């Protein structure tokens, strides 16, 4: 930000469980910072953060919302404040992760009634995983019934360590006291406040040999020494300050902002890495490097890229190189954003600043913008894999024409959404982090691209294999008046031994089939494997031995042997005890302990097999194997069973045999579809 040094810039993301008060806190910050003349409200639909109709209707955040402001902080010192409100709903975790990566610190909201929840732990683990050591907590909801400050502090410390220390205390009259800013404390909290302040001074001293020596010798630390020590402690993760804020009442808002200015590190305390492991430091005079952490689609403006400047200085008309794809770009204009609602043109952005750049040609989320000639490509985190799938089909031919562009725009906006055009099932499958994720994506396709689609449960990509040996024979003989067709093949089909990569073996002896026709027979077998004998699904893990046959000097041809190979394979497979295989997923389900019985019972109904249980951050993590066919609607069921407190992730483990009763149903359906096609 212009004329504000890097040392006076603060950049943080607001994280936490859905409903923990993040957006209300964001609106309170925006009002206090003068970004709006009236405090927004989620309930009234006037929040600066939740601006889309979907967010207003659902009363949840869907997109990360950046805010940029100047603030007259402690002692009138001028700070540049960049912060991002993030969704707490699991389905939009990719927004939280992107914002966190672009931030130097995390402020984790904890509701004093709800306490530590799944989203709280997810936020904490994300900070650990992606190297954001500087973290603080803000307790919200202390004005609600059953709220208990002491118990909330105990829960935070039990989950994340005794170095989680309150720097504010609530008073009986509903106000708060700022421990670091106060020299005298109200009698009701004097003892506790003095004890905390002494501990904080000691922690500040512990960050530096000179300070600890001075402290141990009984000398008084200077105010700036304490301040510097505490910033170091927070930056290194040795201290996690706990703030208090009642956003709707305005209580604690100023104190929390002042605490962030005092305690959270400036951008020059964080080092980014490029893909080669080199450090990129926050020097405004260094060559430009910036990471695109979010892409938005505006109905009127088009594509907008949200950028975190890592090094150098960015100005309007700056020429840049997208080092991720080699595209040359020009930042025609720069805008500071006030949530997703307002934009203010700016003339300069430096390290730690967040800026929006409209109308770049070919730049997307996760890519690096750098000075021309640079080779810097910033590392970008891996996103969670999708867990909810939906097949999408256009409602009309006109929608079909628009669907490709619409899907591309959705992927731009949600890094965790994937599009799979399944060649086997002939379906376009939209994959996301939950049913709400997919539902929002479909609505945005209509809103942004006027593409209306229907969603259905995807078809399962089954496979077929064999469990014993079977022999097959086919003699292809055809006379048409001229040159005929002749080819005869005998072969065996059996299970492919584990580790064996030679699936087709030529065991012809005595020239029963000339060598030049063997590849044609193998090609016929390969084509036969595209549709097995159980339900016409692709065949895998079989070994084929061609051991006999015959040919004709004139009438034999490659086409004849290809047909013979395909038909002989089909007969052999039908005799080799064929089975249907289904994808089995390894699933990790994270839930509070109170829901164990409901979840394990539900797993049994889904043909699940428990592999183990573990306790992580006070939550139960169940590892199980479940057929993919049983998981398509699991997001909604898990949310229902746990009141929204459960989450899960999954990955393909293997293919396994489908139970015979289910195989019969699938085979009957496949036969019916085949008959329908024949009739057509």
pLDDT tens digits for range 346-374: 999 999 999 999 999 999 999 999 999 99
Whether residue 604 sits in one domain with residue 556? no
Per-residue pLDDT for 22 more than 50? Answer: yes
Segment 394-451, tens digit of pLDDT: 999 999 999 999 999 999 999 999 999 988 788 999 999 999 999 999 999 998 999 9
Question: Buried b / exposed e across 500-517, counting CB within 10 Å, b at 16+?
Answer: eeeebeeebeeeebeeeb
Per-residue pLDDT for 678 more than 70? Answer: no
Whether residue 33 sits in one domain with residue 116? yes
463 bridge partner residues: 581
- Positive or negative torsion for Cα 578, 580, 586, 592: negative
Domain boundary among 318, 344, 370: 370
Whether residue 396 sits in one domain with residue 474? no
CATH code for the domain in which residue 605 is found: 3.30.70.240
Locus of tokens 């300070």: 211
Per-residue pLDDT for 1 more than 70? Answer: no
Whether residue 73 sits in one domain with residue 168? yes
Query: Would you say residue 306 lies in a domain?
Result: yes
Query: Would you say residue 225 lies in a domain?
Result: no
Per-residue pLDDT for 319 more than 90? Answer: yes
Of the pLDDT bands very low, low, confident and very high (cuts 50, 70, 90), residue 50 is confident
DSSP state of 91: G
pLDDT of residue 680: 41
Number of domains in the chain: 5
Helix axes 397-413, 435-449, angle to 10 degrees: 120
* Range(s) of the domain holding residue 404: 388-456
Whether residue 41 sits in one domain with residue 174? yes
Segment 209-219, tens digit of pLDDT: 888 888 888 88
Show the tokens assigned to 653: 């483990």
Per-residue pLDDT for 679 more than 60? Answer: no
d(CA 656, CA 463): 9
**601: how many CB neighbours lie within 10 A of its CB?**
10
Domain boundary among 576, 604, 622: 576
Query: Would you say residue 203 lies in a domain?
Result: no
**H or E segment to which residue 111 belongs:** strand 105-111
Query: Would you say residue 223 lies in a domain?
Result: no
**Is residue 189 helix, strand or coil?**
helix
Whether residue 357 sits in one domain with residue 439? no
Segment 131-182, tens digit of pLDDT: 899 999 999 999 999 999 999 999 999 999 999 999 999 999 999 999 999 8
CATH code for the domain in which residue 176 is found: 3.40.50.300
Contact 25, 138 (CB under 8 A): yes
d(CA 125, CA 16): 11
Query: Would you say residue 41 lies in a domain?
Result: yes
pTM: 0.86
Contact 513, 553 (CB under 8 A): no
Segment 73-84, tens digit of pLDDT: 988 899 999 999
Domain boundary among 456, 478, 513: 456
Query: Would you say residue 677 lies in a domain?
Result: no
Whether residue 283 sits in one domain with residue 250? no
- The residues near 313 (Cβ < 8 Å, ≥ 6 apart) are 284, 285, 288, 348, 349, 350
CATH code for the domain in which residue 365 is found: 2.40.30.10
Whether residue 400 sits in one domain with residue 347? no
Segment 544-589, tens digit of pLDDT: 999 999 999 989 999 999 999 999 999 999 999 999 999 999 999 9
Contact 486, 525 (CB under 8 A): no
Query: Would you say residue 204 lies in a domain?
Result: no
**318-322 and 368-370: which strand pairing?**
antiparallel
Whether residue 400 sits in one domain with residue 277? no
Whether residue 14 sits in one domain with residue 91? yes
Comparing 408 with 482, the larger pLDDT belongs to: 408
Whether residue 452 sits in one domain with residue 468? no
Query: Would you say residue 674 lies in a domain?
Result: no
Segment 517-550, tens digit of pLDDT: 999 999 999 999 999 999 999 999 999 999 999 9
pLDDT of residue 647: 87
Whether residue 487 sits in one domain with residue 406? no
Contact 259, 182 (CB under 8 A): no
Of the pLDDT bands very low, low, confident and very high (cuts 50, 70, 90), residue 677 is very low
Per DSSP, which regions of 395-449 are E strands?
A: 418-422, 427-432
């Amino acid at each position: 930000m212009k004329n504000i040094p890097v040392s006076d810039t603060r950049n943080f993301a607001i994280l936490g469980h859905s409903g923990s008060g993040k957006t209300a806190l964001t609106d309170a910050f925006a009002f206090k910072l003068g970004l709006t003349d009236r405090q927004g409200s989620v309930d009234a639909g006037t929040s600066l953060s939740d601006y889309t109709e979907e967010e207003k209707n659902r009363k949840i955040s869907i997109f990360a919302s950046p805010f940029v402001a100047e603030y007259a902080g402690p002692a009138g010192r001028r700070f540049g404040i960049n912060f991002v409100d993030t969704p707490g709903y699991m389905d939009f975790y990719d927004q939280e992760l992107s914002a966190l990566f672009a931030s130097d610190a995390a402020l984790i909201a904890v509701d004093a009634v709800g306490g530590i929840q799944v989203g709280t732990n997810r936020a904490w683990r994300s900070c650990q995983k992606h190297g954001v050591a500087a973290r603080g907590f803000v307790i919200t909801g202390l004005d609600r019934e059953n709220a208990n400050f002491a118990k909330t502090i105990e829960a935070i410390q039990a989950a994340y360590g005794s170095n989680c220390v309150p720097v504010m205390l609530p008073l009986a009259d509903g106000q708060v006291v700022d421990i670091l800013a106060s020299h005298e404390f109200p009698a009701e909290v004097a003892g506790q406040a003095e004890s905390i302040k002494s501990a904080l001074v000691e922690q500040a001293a512990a960050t530096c040999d000179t300070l600890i020596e001075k402290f141990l010798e009984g000398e008084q630390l200077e105010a700036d020494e304490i301040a510097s020590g505490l910033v170091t402690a927070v930056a290194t993760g040795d201290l996690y300050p706990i703030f208090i804020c009642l956003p709707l009442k305005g209580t604690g808002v100023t104190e929390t902002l002042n605490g962030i200015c005092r305690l959270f590190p400036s951008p020059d305390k964080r080092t980014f890495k490029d893909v080669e492991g080199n450090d990129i430091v926050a020097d405004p005079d260094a060559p430009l490097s910036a990471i695109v952490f979010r892409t938005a689609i505006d109905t009127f403006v088009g594509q907008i890229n949200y950028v975190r400047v890592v090094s150098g200085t960015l100005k309007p008309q700056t020429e840049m190189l997208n080092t991720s794809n080699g595209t040359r770009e020009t930042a025609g204009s720069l805008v500071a954003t006030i949530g997703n609602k307002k934009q203010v043109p700016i003339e300069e952005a430096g390290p730690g600043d967040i800026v929006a750049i409209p109308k770049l040609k070919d730049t997307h989320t996760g890519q690096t913008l750098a000075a021309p000639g640079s080779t810097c490509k910033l590392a970008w985190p891996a996103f969670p894999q999708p867990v909810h799938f939906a097949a999408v089909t256009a409602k009309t031919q006109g929608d079909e024409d628009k669907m490709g562009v619409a899907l591309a725009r959705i992927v731009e906006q949600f890094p965790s959404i994937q599009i799979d055009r399944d060649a086997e099932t002939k379906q376009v499958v939209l994959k996301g982090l939950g049913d709400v994720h997919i539902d929002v994506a479909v609505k945005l396709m209509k809103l942004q691209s006027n593409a209306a689609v229907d969603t259905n449960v995807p078809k399962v990509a089954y496979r077929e294999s064999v469990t014993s040996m079977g022999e097959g024979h086919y003699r292809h003989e055809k006379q048409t008046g001229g040159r005929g067709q002749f080819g005869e093949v005998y072969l065996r089909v059996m299970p492919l031994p584990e580790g064996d990569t030679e699936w087709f073996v030529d065991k012809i002896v005595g020239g029963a089939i000339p060598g030049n026709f063997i590849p044609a027979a193998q090609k016929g077998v390969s084509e036969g494997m595209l549709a097995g004998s159980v339900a016409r699904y692709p065949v895998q893990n079989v070994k084929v031995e061609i051991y006999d046959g015959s040919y004709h000097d004139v009438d034999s041809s490659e086409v004849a042997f290809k047909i013979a190979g395909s038909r002989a394979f089909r007969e052999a497979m039908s005799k080799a005890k064929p089975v249907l295989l289904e994808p089995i997923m390894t699933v990790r389900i994270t839930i509070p302990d109170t829901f164990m019985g409901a979840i394990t019972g539900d797993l049994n109904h889904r043909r699940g097999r428990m592999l183990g249980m573990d306790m992580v951050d006070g939550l139960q993590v169940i590892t199980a194997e479940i057929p993919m066919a049983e998981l398509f609607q699991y997001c909604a069921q898990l949310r229902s069973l746990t009141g929204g407190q459960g989450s899960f992730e999954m990955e393909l483990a293997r293919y396994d045999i489908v139970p015979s009763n289910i195989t019969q149903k699938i085979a009957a359906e496949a036969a019916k579809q085949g008959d329908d096609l024949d009739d057509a």
